[in-house]
A and B are shown apart, each in its own frame.
Chain A
Amino acid sequence: MAPQQRKPHVCRNPDLIRGVGKYSRSKMYHKRGLWAIKAKNGGAFPKHEKKVADAAPAVKPPKFYPADDVKKPLVNKRKARPTKLRASITPGTVLIILAGRFKGKRVVFLKQLTSGLLLVTGPFKINGVPLRRVNQSYVIATSTKVDISGVDAQKFDDKYFGKKVEKKKTKSEGEFFEAEKEEKNTLPQDKKDDQKSVDAALIKSIEAVPDLKSYLGARFSLKAGMKPHELVF
């Protein structure tokens, strides 16, 4: 704001009731000091020359007018952002996966990807869960945290997990039947190395905490008498 200290301006003509001011027109004229401005200017209210606007460039009339009015699309100011991460989920939190192949497994959270999915790892040696993406809604966050400072998860993003696009090869009839057999889904070695490097640092910090390794290796299950709405995770 302005560097000089300005007192908030009080209304010159306070309302007696709504619509009725305290001061009459002639009193307000005096209060506003119009008489002083006129006196300074020699009897008449100071006039300013109107600024001449630059002449707009001559617009040629369009050749074609559409028969019906063309609708303009509505303005869309929506920004795509990743889903809001729950406060209970921070890097290093142990999560319980609720559905899918690894349901019940306790897993370490690494980071949230730009798609909103959570990047998670078993670690693989402990419970068989590889580097994987998981949706936030299918996960329960526990209060257990693992020290994740030694892990570098920078290089992992959604493209890393995308399906590999293979070039289509034209096949002759003889090759057709052979090629079908050759397609194998082996995991490429660099993915295995990534898993090992991420897990190496994690396993060290996990083994530093007593029982954490067996905790992560065990599956979560509801037992008789357990009430999920009363459980504190």
Chain B
Amino acid sequence: MVKERQGERCRLYTRGTILGYKRSKSNQYPNTSLVQIENVNTKDEVSWYQGKKMAYVYKAKVKKNGSHYRCIWGKVTRPHGNTGIVRAKFKSNLPPKSMGSRVRVFMYPSNI
């Protein structure tokens, strides 16, 4: 995460919002999270994103591996419903405080 030049922005990920866990009315299943990817509004558009890696980045007080930043990796598994929401599975379940916060949806593994 080294900025090689000041001001050269290089964003190679799409922004996404973590909406919550997969759930029914009164039960939730935290092994799968629901994610809203920016500018993706229909089920067909999701097919491009299927399998792409995602990262939930967060900060912690204790330095690990020399950094205050930590990350949980995951991937887009399948669409959820008809309006572009996506189901995602992460290496470890996302913490509940992540609901409403940012997730990075990368463009790899790429198929273009």
Verify that A and B bind, or say they do not: yes
Show the binding face of A for B, using Cβ within 8 Å. 86, 88, 98-99, 103-104, 137-141, 219-223, 225, 227-229, 233
- Report chain B residues within 8 Å CB of A219: 8, 10
Show the binding face of B for A, using Cβ within 8 Å. 8-14, 39-40, 45, 48-49, 106-112
- Report chain B residues within 8 Å CB of A220: 10, 12
B9 pairs with A137, CB closer than 8 A: no
Residue in chain A with minimal CB distance to B45 = A229
Candidates A104, A140, A227; contact of B112 at CB < 8 Å: A140
B11 pairs with A221, CB closer than 8 A: yes
6 A-B contacts (beta carbon < 8 Å): A137-B110, A138-B108, A141-B112, A222-B12, A222-B14, A223-B11
- Report chain A residues within 8 Å CB of B39: 225, 227
A228 pairs with B10, CB closer than 8 A: no
Interface of A is mostly: loop
A222 pairs with B48, CB closer than 8 A: no
Q: How far is the CA of A103 from the CA of B12 in the complex (A)?
A: 8
B11 pairs with A229, CB closer than 8 A: no
Known contacts A99-B106, A103-B12, A222-B11, then 17 further A-B pairs from the complex at CB < 8 Å, ordered by chain A residue: A86-B111, A86-B112, A98-B108, A99-B12, A104-B12, A137-B108, A140-B107, A140-B112, A219-B8, A220-B12, A221-B10, A221-B11, A221-B12, A222-B13, A229-B40, A229-B45, A229-B49
- Report chain A residues within 8 Å CB of B8: 219
Q: How far is the CB of B101 from chain A (nearest CB, A)?
A: 19
- Report chain B residues within 8 Å CB of A98: 12, 106-108, 110
A104 pairs with B10, CB closer than 8 A: yes
A88-B112, A229-B40, A229-B48 known; A103 vs B107 contact (CB < 8 Å): no
Q: How far is the CB of B3 from chain A (nearest CB, A)?
A: 12
Q: How far is the CA of A196 from the CA of B39 in the complex (A)?
A: 43
Q: How far is the CA of A138 from the CA of B13 in the complex (A)?
A: 13
B9 pairs with A221, CB closer than 8 A: yes
- Report chain B residues within 8 Å CB of A228: 14, 48, 107
- Report chain B residues within 8 Å CB of A139: 110
Residue in chain A with minimal CB distance to B41 = A227
Q: How far is the CA of A103 from the CA of B106 in the complex (A)?
A: 12
A225-B39, A229-B49 known; A138 vs B12 contact (CB < 8 Å): no
- Report chain A residues within 8 Å CB of B13: 222
- Report chain B residues within 8 Å CB of A222: 11-14
Q: How far is the CA of A86 from the CA of B10 in the complex (A)?
A: 25
Q: How far is the CB of B105 from chain A (nearest CB, A)?
A: 9
